[in-house]
Each structure stands twice: as C-alpha cells, then as structure tokens.
Structure 1
Amino acid sequence: MPVSAAALAESLGRVPPSCGPVRLVAVDGHAGSGKSTFADWLARGEVPVVHLDDVATHDELFGWTRRLRATLLEPLARGADAEVPVYDWVARRFGPAVRVPCAPLVLIEGVGAGRAALRPYLARVLWMDVDQETAGAAGRLRDGPELDAFWARWTRAEREHFAADPTRPFAHATVSRRTGGYAITPGPRAVLDPDFSDTA
C-alpha cells in the first residue's frame, strides 16, 4: 500500500541526527526518475529541500562536493542555517543564495545525493527505483528536443559517476511510484520502518 507523506516524514524524524542536529535524508536516482517530485511530495511545504540542480554547473556536473560541504553541510553540522548559492543554467553563473534552515529534517535530492563523500552526513539514503533508460526517456520528454545535446552529455557523465560511485547498494530504502502515491521497499542497507515495507 502507498505510504502517506506525513507518515514517512514522521518515520524519518525518528532516526538519529546525522549532520549536527539535522537528519539529512538523500533522495538519489537517475535523472528523470522523479526525485524532485517525490522530495516535494514528502516535504509538503514543511521540510526544507535542497535541489542538487541548483548546486551543479555546466562545468561541474558532479564536481560540486566541496562547494556543498562548505555551503550546506558544515553550517548545518554547526547547528546554523545554511546559505546555498543557486546556479542559473541559462545565465551560466551563480545567482542569489537560498537559505536552508537548520531544521530537524532536511531533504537533499538529485543525482549523486547519496554519493560516498556525503554519506557520513546522511541519516538515510532513498533510491528512486527507475532504471536509467526509462528515467532518461522521461527526462528528455520533459525537457524537449532543444536539450538533446545536453542530455547526451549528461547521460555519459551519469553513467560514469554511478560506475565509480554507486548509490543504490547503499540505499536504506527504494521508492516506487504507485497509484495514489509511493511505496517504500527495504533497500540493500536497511529499512525505514516495518510499517512502510512493501515487498509485493
């Protein structure tokens, strides 16, 4: 059965803090797999969400770890609010920063959110259970043919990233879209809560 956003957020709120006083939860998966949609659904406008699309750049599709550590992880670990600069993909430069409050639960979503360098700061890693081909097709349809060249470059970079630094083997749970919401299935590393296990 699909789990409610409120119940899942409550379950995540019971795990031990992982980044100072914050329970930082990663939502990872292939581009186009629905990470942003799921994270916003889970947040319900109440939980801060950091989008890695705002952190990556044309020149650093995956080379953003140091910047994320300095602008997000280290402030939260100190118990302070964070200020994360937002990259403008049209202007090709960073714009004003977005404030991320030091809340009990913070979501970080995007390809590579569960990478090895971030896992020491993460309370849980959730993986969107959509294969790369299906996710990529959905992403290309969403973005239109004008971004086909970017998608070709991105797909190669994503494949190389996950080959060198896979997330799925370290996921605490996988997320599947179901009629009426989402189902949570235990991942390779752990489960969130027995109430949310869906192995059907």
Structure 2
Amino acid sequence: MRPGPGEPIFGNWQSIPLDEFVERVLAAGPRVVAIDGRSGSGKSTLADRLASVAGGTVVHVDDVAWHAPMFGWSSLLAEGVLEPVRRGEAVAYRPPAWDVHGRAGSIDVGASLVVVEGVGAGRRELAELVDVLVWVQSDFAEAERRGIARDIASGVNGDATAATAFWHEWMASEIPFLERDRPWERADFVVAGTSPDPATVVVAGG
C-alpha cells in the first residue's frame, strides 16, 4: 500500500468482525463518529456498514458541501448538523445552496448517533464536535482508479473525459488540504479501505 502525500504507512493490520469493530467505536457512547479518508478510499461503504449495525444515521459531507467552496463548508456542517445533534435536537437541515439551486429535501438526523463521512469529516475545525474519528487508509493509485470509475459509472461529473478532469482538479485541492490538516494524526481508529468481506473490518494496530 502506498498512501497519499504526507501520510504515514500504518501497520500491524488485523481483520476483525464488523460487530467487534462497532463495539470498539461505540465503547465510549459517542454521539458523533467521523469517517475521514481520501476520495475513493471506501468511506461511504464503511459508514453504511457501521450505521447499519449501530443504528445511526449517515450524513454525507458531499451533501452539506454541495455547491459550496471546496473545503469551505465546515461552518455549515457544524451549525447545521453537528451542534444541533450534540444538543439532542432532531435535524432537518437545508444548506443555503439547496435553496439557491432548487434542490429538494433536507439532511435529516433523528437518531442519537450520527456517522459523518467524507473528505474532511474529521477536520481540525470540527474536532470538538466529533467524539470518534476513523481514518480510512487507502492506496493512492487504487483510490484514484476506483474513484474515477465510480464517477464515470454514476455520470455525476460528465463523461469519462470530464470525470477524469474533475478528479484531477479535485485532487489539486484535496492533497494540500489533507497535508495541512493531517486527520490521521487525530484518528482513534485507522482502517484499510473497503474490506472485501462485508462482515469484517481491517484495522491497524498501535
């Protein structure tokens, strides 16, 4: 595994049952769990698996940051979702861009546990609002391959040429952001990408 710029290579990997991993994450009774990692690393899959076992609600950073400046959305997530959740309030949040661009619906959180996933979910500005931070380590080249393939399949950023161009534009912001923020240094758990077995999680040792 060759991680991205500035990121150390973790070791002592151990495959454990998903249920055991969830127990470890929930041991201190967290209200907010953040799953951070590079684009294409497997954050969404892990978040869905964790929430399905723990009974939590997944909030995708991409929804909060929709049409917001790249990595300029921390106050939206804090004020619109995390602070109300920590006060024990139900959330039905519409970021400002949703009204401007006519997006329907809202970001809804009714459960006592919220799992926030996305690049920057565990960023430094939000540290006081996050109880548990999970960093998803991935091979840099493989994450790019998977991410571009996913975007092409979904058509979210246009055709193959447009999707690849957008990926490289995004990386021009993501790489320096993560090199500055270094969320892996604050992580409570480091896991290795998406386990091929949905019933297990590969976790780095101390």
TM-score w.r.t. structure 2 length? 0.77
Structure number with the bigger relative contact order (C-alpha 8 A, sep ≥ 6) is 2
- 2:181 equivalent in structure 1: 165
- 2:165 equivalent in structure 1: 149
C-alpha separation in 2, matches of 1:165 and 1:106: 22
C-alpha separation in 2, matches of 1:106 and 1:151: 28
1:186: how far off? Answer: 3.8
Query: Counting strand residues as a fraction of each chain, which structure ranks higher?
Result: 1
1:150: how far off? Answer: 1.5
Alignment check: 8 A CA contact 1:71 1:84 kept? yes
C-alpha separation in 2, matches of 1:94 and 1:9: 33
1:77: how far off? Answer: 1.9
Unaligned runs of 5+ in 2: 1-13, 153-159
Percent same amino acid at aligned positions?
A: 33
CA distance 1:147–1:88, shift in 2 (3 Å): farther
CA distance 1:74–1:149, shift in 2 (3 Å): same
Alignment RMSD:
2.4
1:108: how far off? Answer: 0.7
Give the 5 Å matches for 1:111-190.
Answer: 111-144=119-152, 145=160, 146-176=162-192, 177-180=194-197, 181-186=200-205
Q: 2:76 aligns with which of 64, 67, 75?
A: 67
Query: Counting helix residues as a fraction of each chain, which structure ranks higher?
Result: 2
Structure 2 counterpart SS, 1:96 = coil
- 1:196 equivalent in structure 2: none
Unaligned runs of 5+ in 1: 188-200
CA distance 1:172–1:186, shift in 2 (3 Å): farther
1:86: how far off? Answer: 6.7
1:40: how far off? Answer: 0.6
1:71 is matched by which residue type in structure 2? Answer: G
C-alpha separation in 2, matches of 1:35 and 1:26: 10
Alignment of 1:83 with 2:92, yes or no, is: yes
C-alpha separation in 1, matches of 2:96 and 2:141: 27
